[in-house]
Amino acid sequence: MKYVIFIPDGSSDLPLDEINGQTPLKVANTPNIDKLAKAGYGGLTNNVPEGYTPGSDVANMSIFGYNPADYYTGRGPLEAGSVGIETTPCDVIFRCNTIFEKNGKMEDFNAGHITTEEADVLMKGLNRYFNDKYPGFKGKFYTGISYRHLFVYSCDNVEDAEILANLKTMPPHDISGENLVDNLFGDCELAREIQNIMFESKEFLKTQEINQKREIPANMVWLWGQGVTPKLLNFKEKYGLDAAVITGVDLLKGIGVFAGMEIIDVPGATGFFDTDYEAKGKYGIEALKRNDVLFIHIEAPDEAGHAQLLDEKVKAIEQIDKFIVGPILDSLEGQDYRAAILPDHPTPIDIGTHTRDDVPIIMYASDMEGDDCVAFDEVSVLNGSITKKEGYKLMQRLIDGDF
């Protein structure tokens, strides 16, 4: 039996006046996904437990089959795992966005989608700046992709690390246009130390030639999503199956690394609108030849939701259908397999950020009859028969045929 889980990140939405009260999922041309829906089961699920921020970290940990209440320690640590950063129990790992700050506000949380090459120069420069100015500096910046990077702060002891890891920090994409000082995270000595690093980064970044040339400069770093290294139970030990992950986003790779999954790097997988959908589909087909389970994640709909670009969101959903879902399902024709397609969370166009609302889900089994669901969208799935359960139970439900 093969299992494939398609994750069109943030594709769920609210009704939009521009498309006559419909949603991007409803208006997108998705014949392959709809075919799966007609032969499968529809319903709702929720991947974000009560009390958690609706981030892709928590939501995708659920989809991968792990209860965030048992395993989640922060977003930064997951991304650190994807790039092989070694840490100790005294280290706290932060997400580090390169942002554009203007007049004390979060003007652009991704600095105009700065290139990885440009960001690498800035990250390395920040390390030199802080180490030269503060001998024995306790932090280190690590280059990621585009605007998504990491910062590791080494505390003096485990107790301090726990204090710092548990401070509530704000995702930069949730505070666009807001005053930065209104979104800081506490007044203890450790919090002030991290906040000072954030604001002092401006002193270095404003002098850099890269920023002086850019229309939207990366003139500050914003640290958030911190935590200590998690310990996930190995996926094969937990479910008895070999699994692989395809994604252009480091945090999902990190979940896969900690769970002992195969991480498949696809050339052209950018985590943005320009990602190579066709390559992802082709690599997905090959991955299923040597693995029992494939998690295939596409970030583009989420990015379109954040940017509040309706046309881009619809286009992304259609590209996923044409180049990923269709070819992978065709490759499984004649085999016993089970599949699911679901967003991790909604990213509504009108809001521009994640919400904790329920998301539509389709579950399919080649050896089971379907129900009355005819399409994959927020309304059509209500005709299906899936009972809503906690999102982290998805993998076990697929294995058991508990639809």
pLDDT above 90 coverage of the chain, percent: 88
Does the pLDDT at position 187 exceed 90? no
Cβ atoms of 282 and 327 closer than 8 Å: yes
Does the pLDDT at position 239 exceed 90? yes
Task: Give the global pTM.
Answer: 0.79
Does the pLDDT at position 346 exceed 90? yes
Does the pLDDT at position 10 exceed 90? yes
Q: Give the closest residue to 362 by CA, choosing from 346, 338, 345, 390.
A: 338
Residues 248-296 pLDDT 10s: 988 899 999 999 999 999 998 888 888 999 999 999 999 999 999 999 9
How many Å apart are CA 325 and CA 165, to the nearest integer?
Answer: 38
Residues 383-393 pLDDT 10s: 999 999 999 99
Can you say whether the dihedral through the CA atoms of 361, 364, 368, 374 is positive or negative? Answer: positive
How many Å apart are CA 327 and CA 122, to the nearest integer?
Answer: 40
Does the pLDDT at position 82 exceed 90? no
- The residue among 380 and 230 whose pLDDT is bigger is 380
Q: What percent of the chain is helix, strand and coil (3-state, nearest 5)?
A: 40, 20, 40
Question: Residue 80: what pLDDT?
Answer: 86
Burial environment of residue 109 by CB neighbours within 10 A (0 to 12, 13 to 18, 19 or more):
buried
401 CB neighbour count, 10 Å cutoff = 11
Residues 317-345 pLDDT 10s: 999 999 999 999 999 999 999 999 999 99
Give the pLDDT band of residue 301 (cuts 50, 70, 90). Answer: very high
Query: What is the average pLDDT score of the chain?
Result: 95
**In 215-369, beta strands by DSSP E:** 220-227, 243-246, 262-264, 293-298, 337-341, 359-365
How many Å apart are CA 176 and CA 331, to the nearest integer?
Answer: 42
Q: What is the DSSP string of 358-390?
A: -EEEEEEETTS---S--SSSTTGGGGS-PPP-B
With b for 16 or more beta-carbon neighbours within 10 A and e for fewer, the 222-259 pattern comes to bbbbbbbbbebeebeebbebebbbbbbbbbbbbbbbbb
β-bridge partners, 145:
148
Question: Residue 77: what pLDDT?
Answer: 86
Q: Which helix (H) or strand (E) holds 248?
A: none
How many Å apart are CA 368 and CA 362, to the nearest integer?
Answer: 13
Question: Residue 74: what pLDDT?
Answer: 83
Distance from chain centroid for Cα 293: 19
Question: Residue 179: what pLDDT?
Answer: 96
Which sequence spans correspond to the domains of the chain?
2-71+232-400, 81-227
Task: Decide if domain 2-71+232-400 falls under CATH 3.40.720.10.
Answer: yes
- The residue among 270 and 236 whose pLDDT is bigger is 236
Does the pLDDT at position 84 exceed 90? no
Give the pLDDT band of residue 231 (cuts 50, 70, 90). Answer: confident
Residues 118-176 pLDDT 10s: 999 999 999 999 999 999 999 999 998 899 999 999 999 999 999 999 899 999 999 99
Question: Residue 271: what pLDDT?
Answer: 83
